[in-house]
Amino acid sequence: MRTMTCKQLGGPCELALRGDSADDVIKAQDRHLKDSVGSGDTTHQDALEAMKNRWRNPVKGMGWYRDTKKAFAALPEA
């Protein structure tokens, strides 16, 4: 299991997100952003919009995805 923060994934805070794979951490980030904005936290709004826009532009989104997977793989196991 490895840990990345919301900030490492493009968000504004230091919330630790843990997962066995980069996909697990990315999904946790997606939930965190949606939950934060849904509860009225406007500091996460820009990151949520960026997340949505990544998937509207597949080439750019895949670049972010590959970079995130590499960063995750470089992290120590916890």
pLDDT tens profile 17-31: 999 999 999 999 999
Q: C-alpha angle 15/4/46, rounded to 5°? A: 60
Give the CA dihedral 67, 68, 74, 78, nearest 10 degrees.
180
How many domains does the chain fold into? Answer: 1
pLDDT per position in the chain (78 positions), as tens?
A: 999 999 999 999 999 999 999 999 999 999 999 999 999 999 999 999 999 898 888 888 899 999 999 999 999 987
- For the question of whether the overall pTM of this predicted structure is more than 0.85, the answer is yes
Range of the domain at 29: 2-74
